[in-house]
Amino acid sequence: MDIQKIMKKSIYKAKGGLIRIKIKGEDKIEKIVITGDFFFYPENELENLEKYLIGTKISEEEVYKSIKKFYKEKNIESPGLNPEDLTKAIILAK
């Protein structure tokens, strides 16, 4: 089975740019790809955020808590984009 066919998708427009989400999982995130037109520093941490979210329950509260914790631990800067925006984009793909 082609993974693209079983992944759910969303597009969300945040102040700092467009966020595209591809996600696999019913109750918990099994796989997630975050792309779009936004800045995320350090850049290599975006891939680490995807890995960090694996196993997270797909609920607004749990996704937000995980992203906010990751931002704090890794000192993430994403001008015009915040954990709330990423959470909304992920939940839209649900």
Q: Per residue of the chain (94 residues), what is the pLDDT tens digit?
A: 454 558 999 999 999 999 999 999 989 999 999 999 999 999 999 999 999 999 999 999 999 999 999 999 999 999 999 999 999 999 999 8
pLDDT of 32: 98
pLDDT of 94: 83
Q: What is the pTM of this model?
A: 0.92
Structure tokens that stand for 18 in this block: 């467009």
The DSSP result for the chain, as a single string, is --HHHHSEEEEEEETTEEEEEEEE-SSB-SEEEEEEE---BSTTHHHHHHHHHTT-BSSHHHHHHHHHHHHHHHT-B-TT--HHHHHHHHHHH-
Q: Mean pLDDT in the chain?
A: 94
Domain 3-93 has CATH 3.30.390.50: yes
Structure tokens that stand for 93 in this block: 């793909």
Domain ranges of the chain: 3-93
